[in-house]
Structure 1
Amino acid sequence: MAKVIAAISTSVDGYITGPDDGPRYGLGKGGERLHYWVMGGPWTYDGGHDFAMQGPDKDFYDELEAGLGAGIVGRGMYDAAGAWGGTNPFGGPLFVLTHRVQDQPAAASGFTFVSGLDEALARAVEAAGDKDVSIGGGADVIRQALAAGRVDELVLSTAPVILGAGKRLFDGFGQDINLGIIKTVSSAFATHVRYAVKK
């Protein structure tokens, strides 16, 4: 049976964005540092980078991504990423959790808008077949899935930065959950930890 894997990048102090995240600033002011590991080094929203993941970060990502058949993200992440230029860049269908399903883009985009977590999970699991389902954020979607007991693995990529402000991954989350460490990989830009969610 497919596993549900929630994966996200965070700062040491638990922020998944800097302040003022959204379509204009993506990960917020200073938040791009959370994704140095994704881009292969320092980058800015103004461009000037070759966007090449490499080394231990690429090995970690490739191993995780190879097992995925479908994904789920929230509308905030979809909008902040600029809808990835209008086309799903990932290897399987991507379900976008939103209250505005009437904004559904063309089917050829690879995005499907759904209005609830249960529907998103059911459709993603069906689409994934015998592969896993990724919940890629934002924080609210991950918190909802954890609170519902639907996450099998939590993957945190922690960047060596203290942001001090922005959106926190576990803001307002009040549940007590035990985790087991499955794998740890480190680079100059992040420490990646795969945790099993103990149920």
Structure 2
Amino acid sequence: MRDDLVDLLVEGLQETLFMVVWASLFAFLLGSALGITLVVTEKGGILAAPKLNKVIGTAINAVRSLPFIILIVLLLPLARLIVGTTLGPTAAIVSLSIGAAPFLGRIIENSLKEVSSGKIEAAKSVGASPWTIILRVLIPEALPALIRAVTIGVIAITEFTAVAGAIGAGGLGSLAIRFGYQRFREDILIATVILIILIVQIIQWSGDSIAKSVIRKRFKME
């Protein structure tokens, strides 16, 4: 191993984790809003608005149909407007958040749809408001599935950071391309791959552990 390997990997890891944490937070907020809106505005939903539902669904499908690297390029002007640059991890967070939000929205929607309609109807029958049903029925009942959905989303964002590295986002993906591939540094290429695999494994293990803990507590309460 060469002397600069550790320094390069530490810098790349810090940039990747910075992008993953902040992009996951923003994507979760946007994705949750989209997913909840899709569920409550569908036909027969607690705030039924089929036309709005169709518009949002179509927009989500349109964004999801774009390859991520093309979406990044399309969002570069927005990144410049928000953060003042199109390069670096901070700029990449804009594209990562918007690119992952529709994906998260769909899996959050599917998780919420697993909640028994009987529980929703029971809440309606006692006069619960739509917000009460969302906050006290839909989300709590779907919590384990939501945790797994978010886990999948964070893993996808981690993978997206590697793609974003191809256009100057920094992080392990950029390190693998600029040094590992273009400069024929096999040590860096292998090390970055191992680090990304470890990050994904840790995220998956953490998500599974939290979901199982929620399920165990629920069974104890019952």
| TM-score normalised according to structure 2 size | 0.21
Point out the structure with the larger helix share. 2
Q: Which has the larger radius of gyration?
A: 2
| TM-score normalised according to structure 1 size | 0.23
- Of structures 1 and 2, the one scoring higher in RCO (CA 8 A, sep 6+) is 1
